[in-house]
Amino acid sequence: MSEKFMIKEIREGLHIIKNYKNRWEEFVEVSNKIKSFEFHNIIFVARGSSDNAATWGKYYMESHLNIPVSLCAPSLFTIYKLPPNLKSSLVIAISQSGESDDICEVVRKANEQGALTIGITNNPQGKLAQIAQINIFLNSGVERSVAATKTYLSQLVSIYFLTNSIIGRSALEEFDKILNAMEDIQKREEEIKEKVKPYKYMEHCAILGRGFNLSTALETALKLKETSYIIAQAYSSADFMHGPLALASEGFPVFFFVPKGESMEHSLEVLGTLKEKRSDIFIFTNEAELTKEYEGIYIDCDVPEYVTPIPFIYPAQIFAYYLAEIKGRDPDNPRNIRKVTITR
């Protein structure tokens, strides 16, 4: 049986983001254009996986640039015709296809209002690339699988390089650590495939992440929904401890992204509660000691918590692919959806 495009593209993702090391000057040029524009806030506009990348972008840019960063509600522009004033805003639109009508409508309106607009897209010929004032291309090649994997990685890395170029921080040494960790994960693909097997009959689960890794939880949940038709609900682990904690029961699957760093103390408290409830806990972590107590995948990456969403999503993508395979699904062509979704 020939391999699916999805797993091929997951593997390609690592090679694609390696090329970003040769694109630093390109991002410096973009940041110089941005610095010449006086802006007081940043607004991301995106849908689907791109919106999950934007969620990390909000946390990462807000914490490094010290200005408010928000996620746009496109329907205010397209359905309700009640758009906010985006003058003096930096508007970053993310669209793999560059063809989403609602995303492009926000960019058009932002241009009219006096915002500076940036398009992050994999399609240089798309509508977004034609109307954004500045473009950052993902250079990821054609993505044939409906489920976005390599383009999602490229979106994260584009935000990473853009942010660091704005603040004048060379992050190449840190980026090398991320790449090394992902290379290690790629070599352990069979290990991840084995860890998937107990979840063959899983129909529902919760996926948790805190702060910077809320985006990782959201994107992993989306991949499980798209490729295995699982009712996978993502939560901030802080929000989960409110009403959703009622879901935690014996055998209930909970996947949890647990990086070393500032959120660890809180995460350990949540893990303790889940253990008391006898939930089926599976962690993704760069803290080796935790894998002695909980089932999961160790990511050998000693980097600040704020960049862990880049290496952490990689084993989650592999996990999602092999879960679809063991369930007999076709992750390249999920039911009811297509590669380019047109919304207004």
What pLDDT score does 341 carry?
56
Q: Nearest-5° angle of CA 301, CA 307, CA 312?
A: 55
User: What single letter denotes the amino acid at residue 200?
Assistant: K
What pLDDT score does 324 carry?
97
pTM, rounded to two decimals: 0.96
**DSSP characters for 158-179?**
HHHHHHHHHHT---HHHHHHHH
Contact in structure between 39 and 89 (CB atoms under 8 Å)? yes
CA trace torsion 177, 174, 209, 45 (10° rounding): -120
E strand spans, the chain: 41-46, 69-71, 89-95, 116-121, 134-137, 204-209, 231-236, 253-258, 280-285, 295-298
Contact in structure between 309 and 156 (CB atoms under 8 Å)? yes
What pLDDT score does 24 carry?
96
**What span, in angstroms and rounded, lies between the C-alpha atoms of 94 and 24?**
20
| Beta bridge partner(s), residue 158 | none
What pLDDT score does 334 carry?
81
Q: Name which of 7, 53, 56 is nearest 153 in CA terms.
A: 53
10-residue mean pLDDT series, the chain (344 residues): 90 98 97 97 98 99 98 96 97 97 98 98 98 99 94 99 96 96 98 98 98 99 98 98 95 98 98 98 98 98 98 99 96 72 58
What pLDDT score does 1 carry?
56
User: What single letter denotes the amino acid at residue 341?
Assistant: T
| Beta bridge partner(s), residue 116 | 90
Distance of CA 8 to the CA centre of its chain: 19
Contact in structure between 62 and 40 (CB atoms under 8 Å)? no
CA separation, residue 216 to residues 153, 210, 259, 268 (Å) = 11, 9, 11, 18
**What span, in angstroms and rounded, lies between the C-alpha atoms of 131 and 104?**
8
What pLDDT score does 342 carry?
56
**What span, in angstroms and rounded, lies between the C-alpha atoms of 187 and 205?**
27
Contact in structure between 122 and 98 (CB atoms under 8 Å)? yes
Domains and CATH numbers, the chain: 5-170 (3.40.50.10490), 190-326 (3.40.50.10490)
**What span, in angstroms and rounded, lies between the C-alpha atoms of 214 and 220?**
10
Residues contacting residue 173 through CB under 8 Å, at least 6 positions apart: none
Q: In what order do the strands lie in the sheet with 134-137?
A: 69-71, 41-46, 89-95, 116-121, 134-137
**What span, in angstroms and rounded, lies between the C-alpha atoms of 6 and 9?**
5
Q: Name which of 276, 277, 271 is nearest 285 in CA terms.
A: 271
